[in-house]
Amino acid sequence: MLEHARRATQTVTADWAPVGGLAVHDVRIKEIRNVLIRSGVLTECFRPEWFDAQFQPAHAVYMSLLPGGISAWHCHRYQCDLIVAVRGQLRLGIYDDRPDSPTYKAGQVLHIGVARPAAVFIPPLVWHAIRNPAGDDAAYLVLNDRNFNYEEPDDWTLPAGADAIPLVLD
């Protein structure tokens, strides 16, 4: 064995469940299973019983990212987001800046994509950004529990790479 070699850390259990809990309080992940059908693949993107019964989508958008593309960091004062990758693979950064949260100043980078689908629930006041690390286009759905207000958007942003958020999506 080479002198500086290190044993890899465990990332999944024997049942292929990710090791370690989420680093941000109230963020939840629901893994989704693809269903192979005669003509392709069917993937359910949302069911009301997956998350808090109070989360009812009122608005949905489809977002795409070019290879290497990255969104701005953003959060919402009142709105909850549910993010589901529908094409390619993505890195989803999550950062907790809620002073009353048990995970204040904690962050995590999740790898999500169509190969292993998941719906990620993000509560208000939790910052998030998404990057496409791959060489192909990627896309995701965002379901919100509030209609978008064009005159007064509930959208607070920081540029990608902002020093205020100590996470890197590379």
For residue 165, count CB atoms less than 10 angstroms from its CB and return exposed for 0-12, middle for 13-18, buried for 19 or more: buried
Cβ neighbours for 31, distance < 8 A, ≥ 6 positions apart:
116, 117, 118
Rounded to the nearest angstrom, the gap between the alpha carbon of residue 17 and the centroid of all alpha carbons in its chain is 17
Domains of the chain, first to last: 28-147 (2.60.120.10)
Angle at alpha carbon of residue 153, lines to 147 and 158, rounded to 5°: 125
Q: Give the integer Cα–Cα distance in Å for 75 and 72.
A: 10
CB 90 within 8 A of CB 136: no
Q: What is the pLDDT of residue 22?
A: 67
Task: Give the pLDDT score at 21.
Answer: 66
Q: Would you call 146 exposed, middle or buried from its count of C-beta atoms within 10 A (0-12, 13-18, 19+)?
A: middle
One digit per residue, the tens of pLDDT, for the chain of length 170 reads 889 999 988 888 888 777 776 689 999 889 999 999 999 989 999 988 888 777 889 999 999 999 999 999 999 999 999 999 999 999 999 999 999 999 999 999 999 999 889 999 999 999 999 999 999 999 999 999 999 999 999 999 999 888 999 988 87
Residue 70 has a CB neighbour count (10 Å cut-off) of 19
